[in-house]
């Protein structure tokens, strides 16, 4: 159901965006960016629809080792390597991010948007809201 919703939303935006793409050659085109903060249930459901999710825990390695969402990779937002790590990710595939309570993942999401990622899904409330 959610996948159908995302497809419908993307199709609607795509059709509406076709008109403005061909305006002027020197005008920069803007990509449609989808940013969502989903509660734990919604996040889990959306993640389950992905065949090869880009799922990132942006907490410290110590926090990551204490427990994380299955399949998550640790990209510590605070250690200065996050920006470099973004260069190795697929900007056109959905990126799922979370931290402890939502602050760092919100900042990570903003950085991802700024770097041109098109779909970012942030776990609202962070790992603290994830069912154990």
Q: Is residue 11 part of a domain?
A: no
pLDDT score for 80: 84
To the question of pTM greater than 0.85 for the whole model, the response is no
- Domain count of the fold of the chain: 1
Q: What is the mean pLDDT of the chain?
A: 83
Which residues constitute the domain of residue 36? 31-129
Residue 22 lies in a domain: no
Tell me, what's the pLDDT at 29? 56
SS3 110: helix
Tell me what pLDDT residue 13 has: 38
d(CA 52, CA 36) in angstroms, rounded, equals: 19
Decide if pLDDT at 5 tops 80. no
Largest CA distance in the chain: 52
70: domain CATH number is: 3.40.250.10
Model pLDDT, residue 30: 66
Residue 25 falls within a domain, yes or no?
no
- For the annotated catalytic residues, the residue numbers are 99
Chain segment 93-127, per-residue pLDDT in tens: 999 999 999 999 999 999 999 999 999 999 999 99
**Mean pLDDT along residues 48-71:** 97
- Adjacent-strand bridge partners of 122: 37, 97
Q: What percent of the chain has pLDDT over 70?
A: 77
H or E element: which one contains 6?
helix 2-21
Question: Residue 33: what pLDDT?
Answer: 86
Q: What is the pLDDT of residue 42?
A: 97
The yes-or-no verdict on residue 79 having pLDDT over 80 is: yes
């Amino acid at each position: 159901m959610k996948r159908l919703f995302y497809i419908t939303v993307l199709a609607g935006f795509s059709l509406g965006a076709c008109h403005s793409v061909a305006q002027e050659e020197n005008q920069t085109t803007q990509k449609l960016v989808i940013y969502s903060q989903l509660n734990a249930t919604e996040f889990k459901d959306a993640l389950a629809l992905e065949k090869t999710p880009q799922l990132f825990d942006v907490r410290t390695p110590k926090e990551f080792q204490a427990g994380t969402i299955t399949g998550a990779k640790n990209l510590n937002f605070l250690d200065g390597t996050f920006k470099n790590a973004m260069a190795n990710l697929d900007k056109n595939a959905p990126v799922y991010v979370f931290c402890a309570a939502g602050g760092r993942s919100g900042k990570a999401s903003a950085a991802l948007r700024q770097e041109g990622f098109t779909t970012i899904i942030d776990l609202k409330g962070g790992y603290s809201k994830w069912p154990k």
